[in-house]
Structure 1
Amino acid sequence: MFERLRKTFSRFVDSLVSAVKEDALGEKEVGQLVEDLYMSLVENDVAVEVADAISESLRVRLVGVKVPRFGDREATVKRAVYEALLSVIGDIPDVDFEKEAVALLDKTRPVVVMFLGPNGYGKTTTLAKMAYLFRARGLQSVLAAADTFRAGAREQLEEHGKRLGLRVIGGKYGADPASVAYDAIQHAASRGVPLVLIDTAGRMHTDKNLMEELSKIQRVAQPHFSIFVFDSQLGNEALEIARYYSRYVSIDGMIATKVDSYPKGGSILTFLHVFRRPIYYLGVGQRYEDLVKFKKEEYVAQLVGI
């Protein structure tokens, strides 16, 4: 994963090591190399505003860094680059979503999770993966087919429900999706099911009426977690769509999909920096098991090669 961005930082580190004169990195050398890096970042789906922040952090952290004359210069430079990158997203917490949701069950039931995002991003499949994850812990879910807009949406969710042995609550096409979400929550509450996972229509972000319908679902369902599912491969296009969504609905965290076939890697940095919200998981395949926890330190270490 992230091969192109990893190679970009590998070349940057090599260039820094080669540029060392005496025992420290100079301002002129760092400045030129950071400028060269900037364009590579943008080419790998790092948004311009994020590339600016990374570049400034690198300049501040790298200029004057003491590099051992005879020691492991590469390790010293990598550590400085790692710290510079991490400082850009360091205030965003790593959230163990599964742990938090389970802890919340001690206070309230059902815990309601709402999934947001356009069609084609893997939202419904991601919901099913999360249902599988909780089922592995012995926790059942009610799946709410609140996408009453797209043909085949309910059937897709029902197929997942059949495979996982979970109840799906839906309505007729064109029905009020907020009512579907409400019915699913009431069904879970009356039967002691601990979780409700709400699938929503993949709204075209330019359709104001449909976006306001999403806002209504959120008001009615009052989810404990609202998760935006984004396609990592779409880069800045996905970012602009997510920004539009955030005008109408609150977003607590994110899940990046199709990461296994995404060589660039920059959209992860971009979403973290722009939204200041945690990424809970990465989707790395089509199987139910292919949902891995995201940790920003591991992600940055992978980029830098530590």
Structure 2
Amino acid sequence: MFDSLKKKLAGLFKKESKDDENLNINDKVNENISNKSENQESLFIKRDEFDERVQEILIESDVSFESAERIVEMLKNREKKLSRKISYDDIKSNLRSVLYDVLSQAKSDLDLLNVDKKPYVILFIGINGTGKTTTIGKIASYLKNNNKKVVIAAGDTFRAGAIEQISIIGEKTGTEVIKHDFGSDPASVAYDAIEHARARRIDYVLIDSAGRMQTNKNLLSEMKKIKRVARPDLTLLVLDGMIGNDAIEQAKTFMNEINFDGVVLTKLDTDARGGAVISVAMEIKKPIMFVGVGQGLNDIMRFDPDWYLDKIFSS
């Protein structure tokens, strides 16, 4: 997970030398402490060179150009009082601190397990292939594992196999699925699921929807209708964490056309670059509610900046 970004960042914290290019910076620092008179200069790096390399690494790792520029500017502002040459320990600490400031703004304060309203209605939107239906299953499992009652609305009535797929998810999680025939009005499915939940004192309604390209105006209009009818308490945009800056463009279009309250980033377990997390945090201005970290129905977690930073800065 995030191996490419992790390796590139690790390269920043190594002493580059002809005789030992691959020695980890932590080991090199320890070596220098014992040989201060010979190797004191290797503890430092020119700040301008470091800032330039940070920006390159971020862009190479799917962080948007604008976000990478802003991160480097934040880093420079933090280091203004330092000398032209700074220690590796300083730059590593400062970079992590800057990224934490960025990511902490995307951490949600909402505790989904402790909401007052019943039923609490969640609408899931996004294009095909993001893992939206699987994400619904994961969140259903998350809620049920915490002793909550859940019902799923099979709102994707446009795709032939979608109703069957969400029904299988329901069976696996032990969750009832409200469904109509293929081609029926998805807004009516959402309405029936909500009324079903009200009558039976069910805690949560999770509404699936047809995956659609964010440029398809007709389908976006249908989504607006679902939202008007269901009046969800929370609308979550499901984004594929592997598609990099395309995720930002998707999010911006959905924001303009439908609006949403938070993001679920999927497939992070297979994402080597890892920069999409940073771009989403900086540019979307909506909380990252959950991240998908595996293939199983329990492989979902609330987004935690420290978890992400531990992944990319671990040795």
TM-score range, shorter chain: 0.7 to 0.9
TM-score, normalisation: structure 1: 0.88
Aligned AA for 1:13?
Answer: F
Partner in structure 2 of residue 61 of structure 1: 78
- Aligned residue number for residue 276 of structure 1: 285
The superposition leaves residues 259-296 of structure 1 with CA deviations (integer Å, 9 ceiling, x where unpaired) of 11111000000111111222122212111111122111
Alpha carbons 1:124, 1:199 under 8 Å: kept: yes
44-53 or 4-13, larger mean C-alpha shift: 4-13
1:160 corresponds to 2:152 = no
Per-residue CA deviation, residues 225-266 of structure 1 (Å, 9 max, x unaligned), is: 111111111111122112111112222111111111111000
Q: In the alignment, what sits opposite 1:175?
A: 184
SS at match of 1:102: coil
Equivalent in the alignment of 1:102:
113
The one of 187, 192, 203 aligned to 2:212: 203
Correspondence for 1:193 = 202
Q: Which amino acid aligns with 2:295?
A: Q
Equivalent residue for 1:82, pick from 73, 81, 96: 96
Write the letter of the residue equivalent to 1:51. A
Further displaced range: 264-273 or 230-239: 230-239
**Residue equivalent to 1:184:** 193
2:148 maps to 1:131: no
Q: In the TM superposition, what are the counterparts of 1:287-306 in structure 2 within 5 Å?
A: 287-305=296-314
Whole-Å separation in 2 of the counterparts to 1:67 and 1:21: 16
1:4 has 2:4 as partner = yes
Verify the 8 A CA contact 1:58 1:85 in the aligned structure 2: no
* Alignment CA distance shift 1:135-1:183 (3 Å): same
Question: How far does residue 134 in structure 1 lie from its aligned partner after superposition?
Answer: 1.0
1:30 alignment counterpart: 47
Quickly say closer, same or farther: Cα 1:251–1:24, change in 2 above 3 A. Answer: farther
The alpha-carbon deviation at position 90 of structure 1 amounts to: 3.8
Q: Classify the secondary structure of the residue corresponding to 2:127.
A: coil
Superposition map of 1:14-25 within 5 A: 14=14
CA contact (8 A) 1:235 1:266 kept: yes
Give the greater-gyration-radius structure (CA): 2
Q: Structure 1 residue 199: deviation in Å?
A: 0.5
1:117 and 2:131 are equivalent in the alignment: no
- 1:76 to partner: Cα distance: 3.2
Tell me which moved more, 201-210 or 164-173.
164-173
* Equivalence for 2:233: 224
Cα deviation per residue 1:153-204 (whole Å; 9 max; x = unaligned)?
0110011112222211122222211111111000110111111000011011
Please list every run of 5 or more consecutive structure 2 residues that lacks an aligned counterpart in the other structure: 17-24, 29-38
- Check the 8 A contact 1:57/1:88 in 2, yes or no: no
Secondary structure of 1:103 counterpart: coil
Percent identical across equivalent pairs? Answer: 35
The amino acid of 1:37's aligned partner reads V
CA distance in 2 between partners of 1:68 and 1:237 (Å): 37
Q: 1:46 to 1:68 in 2, by over 3 A?
A: closer
Per-residue CA distance 1:35-81 (angstroms, 9 max, x = gap): 23322211211011111111111222234437999xxx543332111
Q: Which moves more between the two structures, 261-270 or 2-11?
A: 2-11
**Which residue identity lines up with residue 271 of structure 1 in the other structure?**
V
After superposition, the C-alpha distances for 1:194-216 in whole angstroms (9 at most, x for unaligned) are 11000011011111111111112
Does the CA-based 8 Å contact 1:25-1:62 persist in structure 2?
Answer: no
User: Would the alpha carbon gap of residues 179 and 83 (structure 1) be closer, same or farther in structure 2, given more than 3 Å must change?
Assistant: same
TM-superposed deviation, 1:4 = 1.0
What number of residue pairs does the alignment pair up?
Answer: 295
Counterpart amino acid of 1:32? E
**Which residue is 1:142 aligned to?**
151
